[in-house]
């Protein structure tokens, strides 16, 4: 009997026992037949509900329009997001691997048993089919997100697109790169826009539509397959497994460790707010905006 059959039998026995307490005698098989007649079956949760966003379709159309415009100009387009935070150490990692002996891991996921945490922030270059991942050891903050994007531009983007003056960023609607946080905009302005003189356009996916962000299925899903079933024993192992991620369509991934501290609770001063050179688009301005270098502000 399979695992599902064991669980089904257990549920039927529980119902039979509950009926017996009420003075009704019904064996588990009788309970099964009665439930079948009444149209009941044992179901698992099904992911079918989604948040209804009235502007969802309009935003998707606008994102497609921006992608087409940037592609025609051969300007870079990147998709960004943070992958799930992982404990570093001999902890269970879902999946299976071929080995002569089972891999031994801790029986509890206590952070004190490991070496710390790994926070992978990814940048996926849509045109080059290339990923760049910064593995943070501190916190997932807007400053960390912007620093990761800045590192991608310095190490890869500026060499791949030497004539580019514009950059399109596709991001989720929340988290460290959320649409409603000025910390994210200030960090981009400081680390990317003013530092490299780039005009940076950001388009956010609607609430509840993060799975459509290209980085999720083109980069993060492949990293998850690569390290499935392998304990993330230490930071060199994390970096090695991410760098080994490949696909038949030509995906390559670069990875580096970021050990800098990114504290939570940072607040912007009025002077820092005034340095954000923000132009909101006419279409859904809270989700679509461009940051201009301060030397080109006027």
Average pLDDT over residues 109-119: 95
Task: Report if residue 48 sits inside a domain.
Answer: no
Q: Between vectors from CA 246 to CA 240 and to CA 250, what angle results, nearest 5°?
A: 140
65 is a domain residue: yes
> What was the pLDDT predicted at 13?
86
- Asked whether the predicted pLDDT for residue 6 surpasses 70, the reply is no
46/141: higher pLDDT: 141
Residue 267 has a CB neighbour count (10 Å cut-off) of 7
The SS3 call for residue 136 is strand
Among 194, 91, 181, CA closest to 144:
181
What is the span of the domain harbouring residue 151? 56-296
In this predicted structure, the answer to whether residue 274 has a pLDDT above a threshold of 90 is yes
Rg (CA), the chain: 25
Q: How do 252-258 and 130-136 pair as beta strands?
A: parallel
- Looking up residue 78, the CATH number of its domain turns out to be 3.30.420.10
Within-domain flag for 50:
no
Query: Are residues 266 and 120 part of one domain?
Result: yes
Q: What integer pLDDT is reported at residue 241 of this predicted model?
A: 97
* Between 21 and 185, the higher pLDDT residue: 185
pLDDT interval class at 164 (50, 70, 90): very high
pLDDT band at residue 36 using 50, 70 and 90 as cut-offs: confident
Q: Which residues contact 13 (CB under 8 A, 6 or more apart)?
A: 28
Collapsing DSSP to helix, strand or coil, 207 comes out as: coil
Q: Is 265 left (phi over 0), alpha (psi -120 to 50) or beta?
A: left
Annotate 5-68 with DSSP letters as a single string.
HHHHHHHHHHHHHHHHHTT----HHHHHHHHHHTT--------------TTHHHHHHHHHHHHH
Provide the mean pLDDT of the chain: 92
Of 1-10, 61-70, 167-176, 230-239, the range with the lowest mean pLDDT is: 1-10
Total of domains in the chain: 2
Structure tokens, 188: 């981009």
C-alpha 119/C-alpha 212 separation (Å) is 21
pLDDT at 16: 87
172/202 Cα distance (integer angstroms): 10
What is the structure's pLDDT at 189? 98
Does the residue 174 lie in any domain?
Answer: yes
Distance of CA 211 to the CA centre of its chain: 9
Same domain, 181 and 280: yes
Q: pLDDT tens digits for 240-264?
A: 999 999 999 999 999 999 999 999 9
Question: Quick one: tokens of 240?
Answer: 């090695």
Q: Which of 43-57, 127-141, 230-244, 275-289 shows the lowest mean pLDDT across its residues?
A: 43-57
CA–CA distance, 64 with 269 (Å, rounded to integer): 36
Q: Is the pLDDT of residue 3 over 50?
A: no
Give the pLDDT confidence score for residue 54 in this predicted structure: 83
The answer to whether 134 and 154 have CB atoms below 8 angstroms apart is: no
**Are residue 111 and residue 193 in the same domain, yes or no?**
yes
> Is residue 22 assigned to a domain?
yes
Average pLDDT over residues 226-232: 95
């Amino acid at each position: 009997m399979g695992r599902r059959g064991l669980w089904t039998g257990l549920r039927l026995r529980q119902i039979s026992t509950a009926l017996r307490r009420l003075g009704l005698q019904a064996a588990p098989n009788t309970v099964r037949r009665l439930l079948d007649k009444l149209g009941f079956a044992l179901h698992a949760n099904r992911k079918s509900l989604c948040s209804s966003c009235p502007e969802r379709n309009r935003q998707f159309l606008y994102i497609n329009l921006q992608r087409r415009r940037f592609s025609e100009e051969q300007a870079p387009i990147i998709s960004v997001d943070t992958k799930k935070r992982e404990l570093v150490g001999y902890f269970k990692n879902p999946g299976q691997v071929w080995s002569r002996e089972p891999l031994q891991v801790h029986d509890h996921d206590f952070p004190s048993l490991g070496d710390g945490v790994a926070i992978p922030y990814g940048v996926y270059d849509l045109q080059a089919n290339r990923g760049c991942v910064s593995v943070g050891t501190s916190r997932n903050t807007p400053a960390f997100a912007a620093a990761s994007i800045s590192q991608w531009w310095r190490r890869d983007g500026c060499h791949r697109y030497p004539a580019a003056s514009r950059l399109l960023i596709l991001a989720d609607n929340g988290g460290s790169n959320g649409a409603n946080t000025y910390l994210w905009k200030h960090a981009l302005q400081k680390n990317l826009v003013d530092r490299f003189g780039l005009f940076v356009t950001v388009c956010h996916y609607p609430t509840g539509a993060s799975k459509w962000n290209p980085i999720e299925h083109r980069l993060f899903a492949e990293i998850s397959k690569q390290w499935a079933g392998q304990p993330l024993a230490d930071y060199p192992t994390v970096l090695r497994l991410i760098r080994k991620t490949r696909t038949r369509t030509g995906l390559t991934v670069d990875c580096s460790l970021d050990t800098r501290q990114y504290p939570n609770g940072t607040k912007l001063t009025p002077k820092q707010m005034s340095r954000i050179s923000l132009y909101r688009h006419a279409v859904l301005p809270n989700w679509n905006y461009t940051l201009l270098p301060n030397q080109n502000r006027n």
